[in-house]
Structure 1
Amino acid sequence: MTEFDAVLFDAGGVLLLPNPETTGPLVAPFGGSTRTADLERAHFAGAHAMDHARAEGEDSDWQAYARAFLRATGAQIEGQEKSAADAFIDGFNHTLWQHPMPSAAPTLQSLADRGVPIGIVSNAEGQVEGDLARFGICGVDTPGVARVACVVDSHVVGVRKPDPAIFLHAFDALGVPASPRIAYVGDTVFFDVRSATAAGLTPLLHDPYGMHEADPHPSGPHRVLSRLGDLLDLV
């Protein structure tokens, strides 16, 4: 018996990652590794640190992300944490999310081929629908890629996670009400797990490197998805 009737996805940290061609030069001045695999992993270290910063009441979550990203690449920033993070953030913006997760396109295509309703709900700056289509991951009406019911971009609809109201646009597109039988795959607890839970969905935390495994006090109940392909066993 299947667990889910439909699947919604975040974009950043699930389908797209920061482009190593841009993040590499941001970490290199501090001695960080510019290997693609290390830079991919560093995003998840940053997302994990962002969650902890939010849980501890810090507003500077991107500072936490930047410090953790740098350290995960082996960058030496002791004694200059803030200035190093500031330099990283200065070069980091929404145009960086242009490195597809290798498993993204085949997983979404497999779901679409099975007739599983799928959609995207992402905090973004108006670019995410075009990026997903351009990199061959999915589209609402794009030939040759997995078809999705919607790409909900926070900039376009005017509401951002963790506000659960952003999901209302996806429910309208899918033609179904909120339900625990709709999964939402995201890479943060604060923005994704929290909002999906509040919206009545089942959150699945995309954590391919096990960053959250050692957390003694998770910020709410959630399940972990180690590989996007594992979704195919749930629908």
Structure 2
Amino acid sequence: MTHPPAAPAATAIPATGVDALLLDAGGVLLRPDPAALRAALGAGGVRPDDDAFDRALYRHGPVGAGLGPGDDDDAFVLSYAVSAGVPLDRARARLDALRQVVLFRPWVPRDPRAVRAALTACAARVPHVVVVTNSEGGAAAHLARAGVCQVGPGAGVEVRLVVDSAEVGVHKPDPGIYRHAAEAVGVAPERCLHVGDSVRNDVAAATAAGMAALHFCPFGDCRDTAHGHVRSLAEVAGLLSGAPA
């Protein structure tokens, strides 16, 4: 498969150094289960493969323009399905089943071994790794069950904190969720770096909280030069290794 040229180079590592790395969960550590998505579409018609669903997770916004408000759950689900190649009429017909997978069913790790390796490398380079996610609740337990990460020892990588919007009562894109995360680990916002796959919920909101932010864009689809981009967690670890102490 041919991918577009690489997104503009990342330029958002704080000049003062990074004491806390904040990571989005959905889109960075986890993705909707492709098999469950295909099951939700039912028999017959288009049944996108794993790669199509993976790519759709990062480009649904532009493809879904005009389907509804950007913060509307139904519009998000429809634009995600359409971007994966599902005809709009079929996506609408199967919306309830798709919603259950995209909005409520636990997401799964894309590549557990690679994610854990990259998280381990990141944790070796900064004092605090914090997951900041919009969730219906139970995000920390789900990440631990998936073997990705947990607070304290466990099967996954040890992180300092998991900030779950349902538990703290602040949801992205409210910058308050990022300020809460920084305060919880005792780090000034200007020494925090956040990485997430949504320009609105992650990049813009974390920036508004006074943090540096990078857009997680594995396929290089975002061409906006106003913010920096990374294609993988391994790239984040590499950038952190060159950040000032």
- State TM-score, norm by structure 2: 0.79
Matched residue, 1:177: 188
- The question of 1:96 aligning with 2:110 is answered no
Question: 2 CA distance for matches of 1:60 and 1:122?
Answer: 15
Q: 1:120 aligns with which of 131, 136, 141?
A: 131
Using the alignment, how far apart are the partners of 1:42 and 1:30 within structure 2?
Answer: 20
Q: Which segments of 5 or more consecutive residues in structure 2 lack a partner in the other structure?
A: 1-14, 241-245
1:231 aligns with 2:242: no
- Counterpart residue identity of residue 185, structure 1: V
Query: Percent sequence identity over matched residues?
Result: 32
Pick aligned residue for 2:215 from 205, 210, 221: 205
| Aligned residue runs from structure 1 range 1-235, under 5 A | 4-29=18-43, 31-49=45-63, 58=69, 61-77=72-88, 80=89, 83-84=92-93, 86-87=95-96, 89-102=98-111, 103-179=114-190, 181-213=191-223, 218=224, 221-235=226-240
Higher relative contact order (CA 8 A, sep 6+): 2
Residue type matched to 1:92 in 2?
A: V
Q: Is the 8 A contact 1:47 1:187 kept in 2?
A: no
2:182, 2:71 → 1: CA distance?
A: 32
Q: Give the deviation of 1:163 after TM superposition.
A: 0.7
One-letter amino acid matched to 2:153? T
Residues 56, 81 of structure 2: 8 Å contact kept? yes
Aligned-residue offset at 1:210? 2.1
Matched residue type, 2:237 = L
Shifted more, 125-134 versus 113-122: the winner is 113-122
Q: CA deviation at 1:60?
A: 6.0
Cα deviation, residue 205, structure 1: 0.7
1:53: how far off? Answer: 6.2
Task: Tell whether the 8 Å contact from 2:22 to 2:194 is kept in structure 1 after alignment.
Answer: yes
Tell me the CA shift for residue 141 of structure 1.
1.6
Conservation of the 8 A alpha-carbon contact between 2:38 and 2:48: yes
* Cα 1:47–1:138 shift into 2, 3 Å: farther
Counterpart of 1:231, as a letter, is: V
Q: Which stretch of structure 1 is more off in the superposition, 61-70 or 82-91?
A: 82-91
Distance 1:147 1:90, change over 3 A: closer
Q: Counterpart of 1:195 in structure 2: which amino acid?
A: A
CA RMSD of aligned residues (A): 2.8
With the length of structure 1 as denominator, give the TM-score of the two structures. 0.82
Question: C-alpha separation between the residues in 2 aligned to 1:89 and 1:157?
Answer: 27
Q: 1:60 to 1:146 in 2, by over 3 A?
A: closer
Aligned residues: 224
| Alpha-carbon distance between aligned partners in 2 of 1:149 and 1:21, rounded to the nearest angstrom | 32
1:141-191 CA deviation, whole Å, 9 max, x = no partner? 232322211100000000101111112331133211111x42111111111
Specify whether residues 227 and 48 from structure 1 end up closer, same or farther in structure 2 by C-alpha distance, changes over 3 A only.
farther
Distance apart, 1:132 and its partner CA: 1.0
